Structure 1
Amino acid sequence: MRQRLYEVDLLRIIAAVAVVVFHYTFSAWMQGLTPVKFPLAGEFSRYGYLGVDLFFVISGFVVLLSAWGRTPQQFVVSRIVRLYPAFWVAVTLTAVVSVVSGKFAVSLFQYLANLTMFNAAANVENIDVVYWTLWAELRFYLVVFVMALIGLTQRRVLLVLWGWLALTGLMELGVLPGAADLLLQTTFSHYFIAGMALGLIYRFGMSWELAAILILSYANAVYRGIGFAADVAERYKTDFHQWVIVGVIWAIFMIMLLVALKATSTLGRPWFSVAGSLTYPLYLVHAHIGFVVLAWLGPKVAPYAGMKWVLVVGLIAVMGVLAYAIHALVERPVAPPLKRVLNRIARIPERPAGQQPAQGGAPVSR
């Protein structure tokens, strides 16, 4: 039976809230989108973008496990059902708010291209800034799909991880052409690699190979993380402390290692799954819609001390309610019939009543 790791649900919502707080108390006013400023809180919340790094490790971990025991067709169907219904609603809401407010320009072609989730491949701009991570996820899913075609075994996954690490190193040394990074995505490959290694640890236990992969992945994560932080610092014309970047990345690896070693199993609570279910829709809708609200209400609350926190906390709460509405009114009711339709198209036989899917180890991420 497929076991749900409730502690992973908790980590997912923590990562999502970190990104939300980063956008509302640092990114928005640093970009001049609102007059409400958070200079003191921004010293801490500026590192919230690293929640995406945690997302990628979790994705590597749970997506590999969820693909285990599934056919390639089943894996594709599961990804479509998981990703697209909430995404279509989020893209539509964001486009409408952007156009009505006049804050962000959205063309009909851009909107339609975004609905495919492959708009980045055609160099069509995302409607919302956060959608760039979905393009990274889709390319990772392609890797898992190919492994599912070949057949998932411990040895084959290990070979893929070593190969991906080696190609990442060659890419960083300038040996490979730049076009290769479209698939290798070396800026974040170490997180997907580490996540899959952790998935193997969860399923088969620790080994010297997996420990070596984790150490090398962490080293590259620190190297690329410091470089990425420099780019973010340049974008916002500010500074980031390298020791904080290194420490947060270390914490991500250590916490996920404890999950993989099943040391956190007693900490999980079933209600964490409710919070985890809000992660994906919250991530999708919070950014540009939130920026519009901050730009609209910011001038009204700016003169009053303390009201800026009421605005931010209230906005986060509203986004949480919106995320729950998308989950309850779209994701849950749409998923079963959509899955049945896609299963018929892919000619996947229905599972007999009461039969459980093959061991997968964890819920899927995003």
Structure 2
Amino acid sequence: MPTQVQPPLVTTGPRRLPGVRLRELDGLRLLAALMVCLYHYTGRDGPVADAWGGSPRDVFPHLTQIGQYGSLGVQIFFVISGFVICMSSWGRSVGDLFRSRVVRLYPAYWAALFLTVGAAVLLPVDGHIPRYADFLVNLTMLQMPTDTPRVLGVCWTLWAELRFYLLFAVFVLWKGTTKRRVTLFCGGWTVAAVIAQGSENDILNTLVVPDGAPYFVIGLALYLIHRFGHDPALWGVIAVNWALGSGFAMQNVPAPSTSAREPLIILAVLTCGIGAMALVATGRLAFARWRWLTVAGALTYPFYLIHEHVGWSVILVLRQHLNIPAAQTLPLTVAVMLLAAWLIHRLVERPLTAYLRGLLRR
């Protein structure tokens, strides 16, 4: 009898049913945004001290010890972004990625620019009002590469995201997304990030994004695990980039005797964030797909954009004009920012997104 040939094992299909919204990702997005918000309100000095009427370290002596680590929410954002971009781009073209990013990023961003400038004029905290020329450049989201003063302090993260999209489009999407191609991209980008981190070449550092690469790569690898199942090579990529990303984050932190920020706490926060994303990738957080998290996810981006400068103006009004105690001013400011984010989502993002999507398709 002829030997029966077994069909090859197919590993290119989706491991989980398409169309299932990972609402737990929305929850992690909002949590990361709130971490950054806590950092900008309580974890640092600067203009926010003028809003509070004193250093946050004096206003919130205990909360500051937690808030100073909130900036690590940005790195968690990058991990989520790597996961989401790989998921949303699978089977699509470079043009699809371009259109999706334009309609996703720009409407809320434009609204945040106008709102921030309005707050700077009416309720100034740091006394900085952008010049017309600077504002126009900021409308393009290209202020960082053109060395133009930023209107939004948080927009440096968008520049990192834009470079990630460009690299992913050129090295992955251009020829079609496959597990092998994404895996090779993860490995190649990791090597390039290591080389760039040790070099003094500004062009190389700009192109490779060494400070953000480990986190984006972790997100990409976690999506491959989510889609295709456990893979020792991918877990190895994650482990290497966890070590690199944690090391990069701790390099600029002085010794514990001269700084309140402990390197080991930085390591713990990053590890918890990456661990939470690993739980998402392996389906261990599927129980948390509550419907209300969809709303939380929709609010995260506009909230992230406006919470810093506009939030400082709100703190100034509540704390110094209305004499509301600091303990009540903090949650009230967060609530006002979330309400403003919801209004931006409903009144700006929804209608303008639909218009831009139709315009770009035509």
Q: TM-score, normalised by structure 1?
A: 0.87
Opposite residue 230 of structure 2, the aligned amino acid is M
Match of 2:349 among 328, 331, 336: 331
Contact preservation (8 Å) 2:42, 2:64: yes
Partner residue in 1 for 2:262:
241
> How far 1:26 moved relative to its partner?
2.4
SS of corresponding position for 2:129? coil
Structure 1 residues 24 and 301, CA gap change in structure 2 (3 angstroms): farther
Measured in 2, the distance between the counterparts of 1:43 and 1:168 equals 31
Opposite residue 220 of structure 1, the aligned amino acid is L
Partner residue in 1 for 2:60:
38
Match of 1:283 among 304, 311, 318: 304
1:244-263 Cα offsets, whole Å, 9 max, x none, are 10101111121111111112
Structure 1 residues 124 and 30, CA gap change in structure 2 (3 angstroms): closer
Measured in 2, the distance between the counterparts of 1:28 and 1:290 equals 15
Q: RMSD across aligned C-alpha pairs, in angstroms? A: 2.0
Question: Is 1:181 equivalent to 2:205 in the alignment?
Answer: yes
Question: Is 1:89 equivalent to 2:111 in the alignment?
Answer: yes
> How far 1:116 moved relative to its partner?
0.5
Question: What is the percent sequence identity of the aligned residues?
Answer: 35
> How far 1:209 moved relative to its partner?
1.2
Structure 1 residues 270 and 112, CA gap change in structure 2 (3 angstroms): same
Structure 1 residues 301 and 99, CA gap change in structure 2 (3 angstroms): closer
Opposite residue 340 of structure 1, the aligned amino acid is G
Mind listing any 5+ residue stretches in structure 2 that lack a counterpart? 1-17
Alignment coverage as a number of residue pairs: 336
Question: Is 1:15 equivalent to 2:32 in the alignment?
Answer: yes
Flag the structure with larger Rg: 2
> For residues 35-184 of structure 1, what are the structure 2 equivalents within 5 Å?
35-36=53-54, 37-102=59-124, 103-146=127-170, 147-174=172-199, 177-184=201-208
Q: Indicate the larger mover: 286-295 or 23-32.
A: 23-32
> How far 1:49 moved relative to its partner?
0.8
Question: Is 1:218 equivalent to 2:242 in the alignment?
Answer: yes
SS of corresponding position for 1:149? helix
Opposite residue 128 of structure 2, the aligned amino acid is F
Match of 1:6 among 8, 19, 23: 23
Moved over 6 A (4+): none
Mind listing any 5+ residue stretches in structure 1 that lack a counterpart? 345-366
Structure 1 residues 164 and 9, CA gap change in structure 2 (3 angstroms): same
Measured in 2, the distance between the counterparts of 1:2 and 1:134 equals 27
Q: TM-score, normalised by structure 2?
A: 0.88
Q: Which has the higher contact order (CA 8 A, sep 6+)?
A: 1
> How far 1:145 moved relative to its partner?
1.6
Opposite residue 220 of structure 2, the aligned amino acid is M
